[in-house]
Structures are given as C-alpha cells and as structure tokens.
Amino acid sequence: MDIIVGTAGHIDHGKTALVKALTGVNADRLPEEKQRGITIDIGFAELDLDDVRIGFVDVPGHEKFVKNMLAGASGIDLVALVIASDEGVMPQTREHFEICRLLEIKTGLIVLTKKDLVDEELLELVKLDASELVENSFLENAPVIAVSAKTGGGIAELKEVLRQVSAKIPSRTNEKIARLPIDRSFSVKGFGAVVTGTLVSGKISETQEMEILPLARRVRVRGLQTHGKSVKAAHAGQRTAVNLGGIDYGKIERGMILSVPNVLRPTQIFDAEIEVLKDAKRSLKSRQRVRVHIGTIEALARVQVLNEEGEIGQGEKDFVQLRLEIPVVTIPNERFILRSYSPQITIAGGKVLDALASKHRRKDIENVRKYLKNLTEAENDKTKQVKLFLETAGEHGLNFADLQARTGWRKEILQKAIAENVEKKAVIKAENFYAARTPFDNLKAKTLAEIENYHNREPLEQGILQATLREKIFTHLPPEVFKTTLLQLHKEGKISTNKDIVAASSHNQELTPEEKQIREKLEKIYKTAKLEVPTLENALLESIGGTKLKKEHARKVFQLFLNSGEIVKVTEDFYFRREAITELIEKIKDFASKTPDRLIDMAKFKDIAGISRRYAIPLLEYFDREKLTRRAGDKRLVL
C-alpha cells in the first residue's frame, strides 16, 4: 500500500528533522535552506514499513512560504501536525491545521517534537493546547506521539503508529484518469526533462503518451521512478518522478498537470462551494481579488458570490464562481484554498463543482444555486451528475469528450453512467451527442410547433424544407441533434417526411370548393394542351377566371400537382403532365429501337412529339438532364 504523508506546522518546530529521523533523508535540498537552516520549498523522502510505503512531503513552516506549503499539501492522504513541545501551538500551526481541514484531509496524527527540551508537566500542557486546537475536527481523536529527533526517543513508536494509521486509509478509487500535478521540473544529464509530483489518480506507464496542460503539449514517458526505484508503472497515491521525451524541462512549471491526452481542458472559470474561516478578518465579497491554490498552482482570481447579498460571512458556506487570471486544469470535487490578495492570509477553502462553467448573470442566480446544490448532493452519484451536466447544457447537449472533460472519469466509468441514464430514458443519445430528456422534449415541442406554424402560413404546401427547419431552430445545434429530433418525432407518429420535406402528421391539405374549381380547371388546361402547354403564368390566370381568388392562391393549388408528381417541371415557364411526358418517352425509345445509330435530330423529334421548336428545345434539354438523351453534334443519342 502506498500513501502520502504531509507535515504541517510552525517554522522551526522540527518538521524536517522529524522526517530525517524517520527516513534518514534530509528533505532540505536547496543550498539556501541548508545555509539558513529553514525549509523554503517542499522536500521529499520515503519510508518503507513493509506492508506500507510512505512518501513524505515536508513543507515549509514560515508564513512567507505558505504558497509552497500548499503546493505540497495537494494529494496527501495523511497529515502529521507537528508542534514543538517547547513552544506549543503557534500562528502557522493554526493556519496549516485550517488548511488541512479545508482540504478535507481525512486522517492524521499529532507529533510533539523536541520532547527532550521539556519536562512531563510542560509536555502535558502542550498536549492540552493541541487538543483545544483540533477539537471537533478530523484530528480530534488522532494519536498524539511525543518524540525527539535529537535522541531518537519516540521515533520507533511513531513508525508503528504511522503503519497502523496508514493501514486504515481506504485505497484511492480507480475511477479517474491519470493526473499528476507537477511540483518540480529539472533536467538529468543523459535523460532530459524530469517532472515530479504526487500521482493523485490513475496510472502512468512507461512509453505511454501523455499531455502537459495547460500547454497542450504531447510528451512520451521515457522512464518512471517511485521511492527512488525505476518502475514500469506508477499508481495513484505514489510520489512519482517521470522522465519525459519531447519537451525541454525549462518549458514546464510548477502548477502544470501531466495527464492523459485529449481529455482534460484548461479553464479560467469554475463554480465551487466554499467555507469562509470563522476567524477570517472579514466576509468574502463579490469582485474581491483572491489567490486560488489548487493542485500545485497559485492563480489570482476574482470572486463572484452566488447569492443575493453578494457576500459570505465568517464561518459560513456558500456557492461562488471563481474567474481566474490564468488557465488552470481541474475536475469536480477537487479541493482548493483561497488566500487574500494582500496580506497573504488563508481565508477560505472549498471544492470544485463545475470545472468548465460559463459566466453567470445575476438574474440566473436562483437557477444556478439550485443546479450547484444538486451537484453537491450528487457527489457520489455519477449517473445523476451526468444528467445534471446535460440538463445545464440544454438543447445543445454534450458529446462524450465534453462529458469526460467535465468529470475526469475513465472512459469505462463514464460510459456506464451514460448508459444508465439512457436506459432510464433520462438522457437521449444522438449519435455521439447526448441531451437530457427535459431540454430535448422542449426542443421536440419547438420543432413540431414550427412545422405546424408553417402549415398555418402555407396550408397548401406539402410541408417545410428540412434545410429551412434547421435554419429556424437548429442553427447553433449539432447536426446529430437535428437528425435525432426528427427521428424521434417520426417514431412517435407526429411528423412525416418525404425526401427533404417535413410535415406534421395532422396536416390536412383539404381544398375549399373554390380551390377545387381551380384544380379542375388546371387539370383540364394541361390535359387538353398535351405537349403544347401554356406558360405557368397563363395557366394560373386562366384557372382563376370567374373567381375572386388571386393568382398567388392558384399557385398554391398548382403546388399540390407538383407535390403529387402529376405535373413535371421542365423549365420555370413550362410544366407538363407526367402522363404526356411518359408517352413521349415511349415514342422516342420506340423510334431509337428501329434506328441503328439510335440518333434523333430536331426535325424528327418535333415530328414524333407533334410540337414546335418552342417546346422541343426545353423538352430535349430536360431529357438530357434526366439522362434519357445525350447531345451528339446537332443530334441526340437516345440512351
């Protein structure tokens, strides 16, 4: 079992000395640290307790270096709250403890260092001091061990307690993709770029292709080390060093993420739930500039408090939107810390709810709060989380990549959550897009209403063109959503489709008595004319003679002939009865069958059709388009 233990506590309370007494490693690696005798940046060491392998993250205790402390605090499983027996609880003891509480570290122990400098009476007073600090917190019933790094007293007991406490820590879930927040980047001669960090989720294997975010830079894993040994794969919960190919170490900074390619996306806006510390100097207000510590990065941001008052009081919890000045990479339920811009003091902490949020308007706050409350309650319900993300996406829906970017779940986990929603009919699958039932039903209703409105405007039209319908309602929606909407309406028997025409099933093209008269007149006009038809304009005018109807109305009745296929359009002016066209085709084919070269000239065509050149030319051009004939000089080859 692998776990990460982080130290916490005031400066000069013996954190680094404690780690050295446990592991034999001096975690102060910087020359300045050794020269000044204080920890400035995070340091690392390992301890193998047979069935438990511990990776120590030693953090600086000075108030000026809390930023570095926070970079080391991300990803730890257990905290060792270090309190010097000769000083007791100090300001950074309190701040570090509050940070660990806000990060929701579940397990820990209290280590009283420098016990060789005090008597038993003073040691008991320090224990009481520590008990008051952690009262009603995750450390309330934690083991308290007094040690001396100088004499070695209590170190063996501490190792045994670490082993026992570590064995009770539940294994990390295997639901999320590989994510390694980078805390160091350097170059090793002959190997190139190396990054280190705590692998907070997933697995990284040798030769695997990865991505540095937010750079969106592809890299290859050339080698891996955990606990100072080369391995083929690293797992969640391990301090990991990764040798990367394809990038110079100077382009990698603390705060970047090493992750699986093409899944996570950088964001500068996320929604969260936060808790303001009881002893914060003032409430947290909208537009306040803060420092966000998430993963190993520090980012400046503006707070948008998502309530009517626009502020959150000391000791209170509420929802906020954080608008960052640089891109970060995060996923839901990731914990973070807020510190004031100046002076730099810890004021709040919280968890991410929607990692890829869009800006909220004040008038939408009520709906946003309901959505975020539902997300909070669905923290352990993946099926419900997917449904909520899709409901918020509305009619547009989300594709699989969108959902994976929002959740950070492995492909199999997300597929299962989607499938459960689809099975419950809470989510509609539109090829690779997904939409929640409610917005999709609204979209269907809008679509049907648009079709029916069209019928009301154009009662004699067969229906609305699909292209027109898409332009009216689906302009900004994926084509897959459009296709699925029509398919669903068709399955429900609410619409019918004919090639590129969509009509409501209830659409009735019944004609009025006057319209029936026009239809009869048009039938007679074209039947009598045979192949010597009048222009459309003249036919329409003749059909409304003796009625009060207008030419535009006659055109709509004429459209019924076209829709039914009884009339064939040859040119904009000339339309012919299909029966007449069919008869002519049979005559031409009969002529061709008796002619060796199957060629026919204009004169012969006019003779067979019994028409003038005025009709012959458009008819021959029509036959060319229909691939019945093909020009061959001044003749036509009958195909």
Catalytic residue among 16, 93, 107, 198: 16
Which residues, in sequence order, are CB contacts of 562 under 8 Å at separation 6+?
569, 575
Cβ–Cβ contacts within 10 Å for residue 121, how many? 7
Q: Which of 59-63, 151-155, 260-264 has the highest mean pLDDT?
A: 260-264
- In the chain, where are the structural domains located? 2-167, 179-259, 267-368, 439-504, 512-639
CATH 3.40.1160.10 fits 179-259, yes or no: no
Decide which of 1.10.10.10, 3.30.70.20, 1.20.120.330, 1.10.274.10 is the CATH code for 512-639: 1.10.10.10
Catalytic residue among 2, 7, 10, 12: 12
Catalytic-residue membership of 62: yes
Query: What average pLDDT does range 589-608 have in this prediction?
Result: 91
Res 11: pLDDT? 80
Cβ–Cβ contacts within 10 Å for residue 466, how many? 17
CATH class of this structure's domain 267-368? mainly beta
Say whether pLDDT at 37 is over 90: no
For 589-602, the DSSP string reads HHHHHTSTT-EEEH
Nearest to 133 by CA among 304, 9, 286: 9
Query: What average pLDDT does range 12-25 have in this prediction?
Result: 84
CA 194-195-198 angle, to 5 degrees, is: 145
Which residues, in sequence order, are CB contacts of 160 under 8 Å at separation 6+?
none
Catalytic residue among 62, 203, 416, 446: 62
- Comparing 236-245, 390-399, 505-514, which segment has the lowest mean pLDDT? 505-514
Res 8: pLDDT? 87
Which residues, in sequence order, are CB contacts of 535 under 8 Å at separation 6+?
573, 574
Six-digit token string for 331? 């996923």
Ramachandran bin of 333, using left for φ above 0, alpha for ψ from -120 to 50, beta for the remaining angles: left
Res 73: pLDDT? 74
At which residue do the structure tokens 């918020």 appear?
392
Catalytic-residue membership of 15: yes
Six-digit token string for 588? 């031409």
Res 65: pLDDT? 52
Q: What is the CATH T-level fold of the domain 439-504, as seen in this structure? A: Arc Repressor Mutant, subunit A (1.10.10)
What's the pLDDT tens digit per position in 340-382?
998 889 999 999 999 999 999 888 899 999 999 999 999 989 9
CA 600-606-607 angle, to 5 degrees, is: 90
Query: What average pLDDT does range 328-351 have in this prediction?
Result: 93
Say whether pLDDT at 72 is over 80: no
Catalytic-residue membership of 455: no
Res 458: pLDDT? 75
Strands 2-8 and 78-84: parallel
Catalytic residue among 13, 15, 293, 360: 15
Element (H, E) at 171: none
Res 265: pLDDT? 95
What is the rounded distance in angstroms from the CA atom of residue 278 to the CA atom of residue 545? 89
What is the rounded distance in angstroms from the CA atom of residue 271 to the CA atom of residue 334? 11
C-alpha dihedral (439, 270, 322, 312), degrees to nearest 10: 60
What is the rounded distance in angstroms from the CA atom of residue 231 to the CA atom of residue 163? 23
Q: pLDDT category, 510, cuts 50, 70, 90? A: low
Nearest to 594 by CA among 609, 613, 608: 608
Decide which of 3.30.70.20, 3.60.40.10, 1.20.140.10, 3.40.50.300 is the CATH code for 2-167: 3.40.50.300
Whether this model's pTM surpasses 0.85: no
User: pLDDT > 90: what percent of the chain?
Assistant: 53
Element (H, E) at 14: none
Six-digit token string for 630? 């093909």
What's the pLDDT tens digit per position in 185-241?
888 887 889 998 889 999 999 999 999 999 999 999 999 988 788 999 999 888 899
Beta strands in 246-387 (DSSP E): 257-259, 267-276, 284-285, 289-294, 297-305, 311-312, 317-328, 335-340, 346-354
Position with higher pLDDT, 418 vs 171: 418
Beta strands in 114-208 (DSSP E): 144-146, 179-188, 192-198, 203-205
What is the rounded distance in angstroms from the CA atom of residue 26 to the CA atom of residue 23? 8
H-state helical runs in 327-431: 365-377, 382-393, 400-407, 411-423
What is the rounded distance in angstroms from the CA atom of residue 441 to the CA atom of residue 421? 15
Catalytic-residue membership of 13: no
3-class secondary-structure state, position 629: strand
3-class secondary-structure state, position 98: helix
Say whether pLDDT at 2 is over 90: no
At which residue do the structure tokens 């954080």 appear?
322
Say whether pLDDT at 335 is over 70: yes
DSSP secondary structure letter of residue 249: G
> What are the phi and psi torsion angles at 216 (to 5°)?
55, 40
| Matching fold, domains 439-504 and 512-639 | yes
What's the pLDDT tens digit per position in 162-188?
988 888 888 877 899 999 999 888 888
Position with higher pLDDT, 46 vs 268: 268
Query: What average pLDDT does range 64-83 have in this prediction?
Result: 77
Query: What average pLDDT does range 510-531 have in this prediction?
Result: 84
Residues 215, 256 contacting (CB under 8 angstroms): yes
Res 33: pLDDT? 45
Residue type for position 450: E
Say whether pLDDT at 44 is over 60: yes
